[in-house]
Amino acid sequence: MIIEDNSFILFQSIIVPAAFSVLALVLGNRLKEKTGWLSSVILLYSTVLIGYTQLRLFLEPSLEAIEASYSWLPNIGSLSLGSFTLRADGLSTPIALIIAILCTLISIYSVKYMEHEHALGQYFALYLLYASGMIGTVLVTNLAAFFLFFELMLIPSWALIGVWGTGLREKIAFKYFMFTEAGALSLLAGIVATGFIANTFEIFEVSQGMVGIELGVQIAIVVAMLLGLFVKMAIFPLHTWLPDAHAEAPTPISALLSPAMIGIGGYAAIRIVYTGFPAVVKASTPQFMLILSVLALVTMTYGGYMALAQDDIKRLLAFSSISQMGYMLFGIASVSTIGLVGAVLLYVSHGLGKAVLFMVSGVLIHEFKTRSIKELGGLAAKMPYTAIATLIGFLGLMGFPYLIGFWAELYIFTGSMYTALQGFSHLLEPNSIRVLITSLAIVASVLTASYGLWTVRRVFYGQPTEKTMHAKEGSMIMIVPIMILAALALILGIYPGLMASSASTYISELLGSIG
């Protein structure tokens, strides 16, 4: 059963941050860094709205989605861009909720971290626009509107990196912008082609419109769109923008770029490919999806190896994100309900865990003015909360039980293995390549454990170095958001049903309709 959103809940959750960004800009000169409190209140409003939606979806299993539709642009000749449709269902709501929670808490974190920076009014205005862009991208189902918000995510983040970043920030911001824009253009090509061929931009009607279209054309469109999305997700070999962008961005923005934004590429992949192009999924399994699985495996492993070689802690986390996106892609490519739910849960787990880790790295940068792991050491005694949070963060990435990451990985791998062994019930040959790939993927998680534990050891154990001799715990304004996120990861780890049950209901229906 699908409900109409009559109280503009979804619309508000997107527009309110964008609208109030002007307020932040104006008040910024006076309030300076305290604007962060204002922006977090604004974002809290969005969080509450989305949280309410998720709660409704969780408590009412018969509720499939909450939709809203607003008429948008007039028709241009015979081409209609459709209406501005929003949809909160089991797939999009957990993701939107995580984005909203992260934006809210990181805004509080920014208050302390950015306290000595300039032009903070502009910073928070851009921040609000960025948040609005991300939430919007996830909630809209009209492809044209999706592209609008996709670009709306891009521009504020470019500005944020370019002005408040570190190192060669203008160049890095430019590289980030160009790269993602190139991908976005590929995505645009796919969207426009879809619009013309299927005569609609509404993702749920695209599958109807694609009936009867030659499979080669559909695959070409899907590949074009996936290219754009994979640039965003930083899948190998399109990932090179990510280490620089994440390392040199201001840490609160890194904590949003990595956990929240890149996973949106994965969400979009599920939404667009599975909902709009069922023929591609059905006809090309196992080949197309298998190739994606291999790509995911390569990304996972490559990210892990690169992370091992890093001394700069933010670059290490950036490569770790690349590796985690490999996991998400692996779940997406598993063509099974379990795997897709695992991918959604991985987004949640990576979102929470990586945000914790980036914020911890921010605490370290704030205290010691260095990003180099070599210069840090022996911190566990003086910074206990930070140490605990880091350990929880890395354990979550490793897929350790008691944290949501465990369920994410369990489901991703079970899903893929189930697809591989599905032959059993139909007395077909099991897909042994997929069995092998799944096994290799599980082995690759040893790399995650290695770089995680090694980093914890190098930074927190052993003897203090000269830089860390006079360490003290970070400010509570920075620590409390970190601990809240860690606690969330634990709660969801013990009861993932909060996010997973609505997701699984929706996704199983989705896959069921593909057949």
Partner 1 sequence: MAIVPTVGIETIPAWLSWLFPMIGAFLTPLLAKINPKVRDYGAVLFSFLAALMTIMLIPLLFSVEALPKWEVLPWIELEGFPVLSKIEFGVLVDPLSIIMANVVAVISFLIMVYSLGYMKGESGLTRYWFFMNFFIGNMLLLVMSENLVQTLFGWEGVGLCSYALIGFWYKDRKEDYLKTWVGEPPEAYPPSHCGMKAFITTRIGDISLLIGIVIIVAFTGTLSYMELIEKVEHLPHEFMWILVPAAILLFGGPIGKSAQLPLMEWLPDAMAGPATVSALIHAATMVKAGVYLVGRLFPIMYVASKFYPEMGSFFYVVAWIGVITAFVAGTQAITSNEIKKVLAYSTVSQLGYMMLALGVAGTTFEFFIGYTAGVFHLMSHAIFKAALFLTAGAVIHAVESRFLHHMGGIRREMPITFWSMTLTAFSLMGVPILFSGFWSKDLVLESTLLAGQPILFALAAITAAITAFYSVRMLSLTFLGKKSKHIHELEHEGHHIHEAPKVMWIPYSILAIATVLFGIGAITLLPLGGFGGWLEHTFENYLSRLPGMEHSSTLLAAELATEGTLPQELAVIITIGTSLTVLAIGAFIAYKLYIRRSPDPAKLVGSKGVLKSLWNFLFRRWYVNAFFYKVFVYPTISFSNWALKHIEIGGIDKFNYVLANAVRGFSNRFRRTHTGLLNYNVIGMIAGIILLLILVYMVLV
Please tell me the distance from the alpha carbon of residue 31 to that of residue 261, in angstroms, as a whole number.
Answer: 28
**Among 23, 55, 219, 442, which residue sits at the site for partner 1 (rule: CB under 8 A)?**
442
Q: How far is the CB of 261 from partner 1 (least distance, A)?
A: 20
Written as six digits, the tokens of 50 are: 């989305």
**Among 457, 470, 487, 513, which residue sits at the site for partner 1 (rule: CB under 8 A)?**
457
480 binds partner 1 (CB under 8 A): no
Q: How far is the CB of 83 from partner 1 (least distance, A)?
A: 29
210 binds partner 1 (CB under 8 A): no
DSSP characters over 278-289 = HHHHHHHTTHHH
Chain centroid to CA 341: how far?
A: 14
Written as six digits, the tokens of 493 are: 């780890």
CB–CB of 246/318 below 8 Å? yes
Residues in Cβ contact with 77 at an 8 Å cutoff, skipping those fewer than 6 apart: none
For tokens 């189902």, name the residue. Answer: 141
454 binds partner 1 (CB under 8 A): yes
Binding-residue pattern over the window 399 to 418 for partner 1, x denoting contact by CB under 8 A: -xxx---xx--xx-xx--xx
- Positions 270 through 329 that interact with partner 1 (CB under 8 A): 302, 305-310
Q: How far is the CB of 501 from partner 1 (least distance, A)?
A: 6
Please tell me the distance from the alpha carbon of residue 316 to that of residue 311, in angstroms, as a whole number.
Answer: 7
500 binds partner 1 (CB under 8 A): yes
Please tell me the distance from the alpha carbon of residue 48 to that of residue 464, in angstroms, as a whole number.
Answer: 42
Number of residues that bind partner 1 (CB under 8 A): 67
465 binds partner 1 (CB under 8 A): no
The b-or-e profile of 51-82 (16+ CB within 10 A means b, else e) is: bebbebbbeeeebbbbbbbeeeeeeeeeebbb
Residue 205 or 375: the one with the smaller Cβ distance to partner 1 is: 375
Q: How far is the CB of 160 from partner 1 (least distance, A)?
A: 21
Residue 163 or 435: the one with the smaller Cβ distance to partner 1 is: 435
Residue 354 sits at the vertex; the CA angle it makes with 491 and 490, to the nearest 5 degrees, is 10
Which amino acid is residue 456, in one-letter code? V
Footprint of partner 1 (CB under 8 A): 61, 175, 179, 237, 239-241, 243, 302, 305-310, 336-338, 341, 378, 380-381, 395, 398, 400-402, 406-407, 410-411, 413-414, 417-418, 420-421, 424, 427, 430, 435, 438-439, 442-443, 445-446, 449-450, 453-454, 456-457, 460-463, 495-497, 500-501, 504-505, 507-509
